Structure 1
């Protein structure tokens, strides 16, 4: 590929942004040949399109003794090209069961998102060889269709900001040729030659042999990855149809809806449902456990499967993903509003509810008092709160979050559910939680 071809390819890949009147771009600049070439291409493109705004960010992970030198190099390049430059220093604390590379990547995206120019698209320098290496790493780990699709050209961060890879179909050799043709200086990270790291081993000792042995290997592999991504996109469309037909208003999964699906289809929709709440997917064993218990559990059984950052619970024919929560604190109610320890606001309103407290009655909000007794309005007899919550079909894990209003030791209201018939008053007060 000639240098002009790289320029045209980058320009063509950005055209859908131009059609949306998006001309603000921030280059994630590491100092390596790929990001430096990308910056130069954007500089050339800015000369052709005067409305184009280009800036750059260097993220200093502090993992190399040369990090500060690389930052200075990037700043010098940007000064020569008249490109606004910013640098972000991030601190990485090694966590167990998480690779340092993954942590550095997460912190890098966070810093890029926070410091990029407002409303700009972040441009990343990954190229075709990076894509192939990612594919081979996922293949080695036994990944499925989605994993083997490797890196998407477009990625949307949690904030909604878009990251884009204009060079994803350009080989490393063509990028290096571009740099040589225009005498573009760049940094060479010595750690990239250490083949103890899996990606470096693939880069130095595997992919070059495959490319030499099989003519056109890199582009053929890239085409296969693109096909895998398209097949995953098609599967996602059908998955979203299944999912939308299986959810209630609380985003709980209807068991009776999915029970008639094939085993593989059922597992697929359960995974898609879990992705609404967590990025950490269950193992195959855990997934089978979820499905088996969902289908075979007794109607009134208390199903609970613990995952990394939440629980799977079953209630009234639905599966719920329950996030961990801290116990709420009991407090005296001496004002008309109170911010609860979980951030919700408890408000006292005038209207149909319970009578005002007497002078000798202390008003408090308490939680998780299942043995407290109450006779709700229009209900037969007095019984425990646990009984009435079950009667109202309140999920067990939600009961501890319901604010309970007490006058001294008497329960007068379960906020959002019922009030005490003994304390009812058409022109009284009612507590609400927002």
Structure 2
């Protein structure tokens, strides 16, 4: 009987889960109605704590009526229902369906208690459709692995106990228990890819290959196992080739990785930095440019929100940079000075707080040809040479504030280098220059850009 089949499947899956409450995602459609009803019949589920959430996307004129019907359903089976209305905003490159899904999951995550498990009603037919959609989009093992039975979601987990069951088994259950459910007319819209697959493609495949859905689901399980193995190897590879600065990778070691690891390592690295990931074409272009560029070149591949640049032996990942205008100039008397764009701020820090200079300095950015005599002595050095010897990447050089005196002598490069004249100016004040940037905070004495003068002068 369909009741026993679904009940037994849920009870067996529950035994593998942490002893935490369940939150059932309830659209009111057939699938979620079956899942919620079956959960509500389980004494072990009731003992854990069970509630349901219905997300009203506001995309259909009867959405408020659907919410009332969902409440009637949950009242009848004695389950608390939370209704959340959301505004569906179309994200860049996302269709309405994907944007609604993003809004739905975001709403559900806000309701989750720590460790709580969200029960979702996806079944074997959904899994087969997902695999085909991923294949048509050129996905690798991670995508073809499709939906996991259990995965992290927000502060808890997303759980899909029905993935092994076909849609027909859920319909049998609903008809046996005379459940009422909502028929969303959008499910018949064949302009939506998933609906087209469900209504036009899968029936033809199943007519020729009756076990197709089961076989596709099995392939997804194999792909998932392969993806999890690749994930573990990618974690180890990233730890091996990442630079001391987390935003860097040793590019030769990255290129030398097996093809199956190179892409997942790149994406793991970028996700950890909260940077957008590339398309497969952009990732391939990065590989091509790194392989072809000579040692004296500095290849850069960009996509929206991200730049990946090579300098010497390292790849650097960063958000797209803006550079201050060459004609930007401002006086600096030691009090906090905001620099243009996102370049940060300057101030003088004394032993007892902020300090004022007897005469203001002029702050501007690199124009080329600058030089200074370092405070440690020695000959006058070209700023270009100091940058190169210190290994400061070219894209950082034009964003470092330069301080000049009334005679247009360079006295300081941010808080990294100080000239003899600069040292003489600051010594009586017992003060130092501090350059604060949005991404690194205050870096007294140079922070992550501090340079060992012995290294520069050697």
How many angstroms apart in 2 are the aligned matches of 1:162 and 1:347?
47
Deviation at 1:183, TM superposition (A): 2.0
Task: Confirm whether residue 151 of structure 1 aligns to residue 147 of structure 2.
Answer: yes
Structure 2: gaps of 5 or more residues: 442-458
Task: Confirm whether residue 298 of structure 1 aligns to residue 297 of structure 2.
Answer: no
- Structure 1 window deviating more from structure 2 (267-276 vs 78-87): it is 267-276
Deviation at 1:188, TM superposition (A): 0.9
Q: What is the aligned-residue RMSD (CA, Å)?
A: 3.4
Deviation at 1:189, TM superposition (A): 1.1
Describe the shift of the 1:162–1:402 C-alpha distance in structure 2 as closer, same or farther (beyond 3 A). Answer: farther
Deviation at 1:137, TM superposition (A): 1.7
How many angstroms apart in 1 are the aligned matches of 2:347 and 2:178?
68
Describe the shift of the 1:125–1:297 C-alpha distance in structure 2 as closer, same or farther (beyond 3 A). Answer: same
Equivalent of residue 69 in structure 2, options 56, 70, 73 = 73
Aligned to 1:420: 419
Aligned to 1:11: 11
Describe the shift of the 1:262–1:184 C-alpha distance in structure 2 as closer, same or farther (beyond 3 A). Answer: closer
| 1:70-219 equivalence runs, <5 A | 70-94=66-90, 97-117=93-113, 119-157=115-153, 159-211=154-206, 213-219=208-214
Aligned to 1:321: 317
How many angstroms apart in 2 are the aligned matches of 1:292 and 1:270?
14
What SS does the aligned partner of 2:430 have? strand
Task: Confirm whether residue 282 of structure 1 aligns to residue 279 of structure 2.
Answer: yes
How many angstroms apart in 1 are the aligned matches of 2:301 and 2:40?
53
Structure 1: gaps of 5 or more residues: none
Describe the shift of the 1:257–1:143 C-alpha distance in structure 2 as closer, same or farther (beyond 3 A). Answer: closer
Q: Deviation per CA, 1:371-414, whole angstroms, max 9, x where unpaired?
A: 65433333643345444323311112233454555666665443
Residues matched between the structures, number: 424
Aligned to 1:35: 32
How many angstroms apart in 2 are the aligned matches of 1:348 and 1:14?
62
- Structure 1 window deviating more from structure 2 (213-222 vs 66-75): it is 213-222
What SS does the aligned partner of 2:182 have? coil
Deviation at 1:64, TM superposition (A): 1.7
Equivalent of residue 393 in structure 2, options 395, 410, 413 = 395
**TM-score, length of structure 2 as denominator length:** 0.80
Deviation at 1:419, TM superposition (A): 2.3
Q: For the Cα contact (< 8 Å) 1:274–1:281, is it kept in 2?
A: no
How many angstroms apart in 2 are the aligned matches of 1:101 and 1:368?
49
Task: Confirm whether residue 58 of structure 1 aligns to residue 54 of structure 2.
Answer: yes
Q: For the Cα contact (< 8 Å) 1:90–1:107, is it kept in 2?
A: yes
Deviation at 1:59, TM superposition (A): 1.9
Task: Confirm whether residue 244 of structure 1 aligns to residue 239 of structure 2.
Answer: yes
What SS does the aligned partner of 1:156 have? strand
How many angstroms apart in 2 are the aligned matches of 1:178 and 1:420?
81
How many angstroms apart in 1 are the aligned matches of 2:369 and 2:22?
60
- Structure 1 window deviating more from structure 2 (178-187 vs 295-304): it is 295-304
Q: For the Cα contact (< 8 Å) 1:28–1:56, is it kept in 2?
A: yes
| 1:284-433 equivalence runs, <5 A | 284=281, 286-326=282-322, 342=342, 348-350=348-350, 357-359=356-358, 361-362=359-360, 373-378=371-376, 380-383=378-381, 385-402=383-400, 404=402, 411-424=410-423, 425=427, 428-432=430-434, 433=436
How many angstroms apart in 2 are the aligned matches of 1:332 and 1:56?
61
Flag the structure with more relative contact order, 1 or 2, with Cα contacts below 8 A and sequence separation at least 6.
1
Aligned to 2:455: none
How many angstroms apart in 1 are the aligned matches of 2:362 and 2:332?
5
Deviation at 1:223, TM superposition (A): 1.7
Q: For the Cα contact (< 8 Å) 1:413–1:420, is it kept in 2?
A: yes
Describe the shift of the 1:125–1:332 C-alpha distance in structure 2 as closer, same or farther (beyond 3 A). Answer: farther
What SS does the aligned partner of 2:41 have? helix
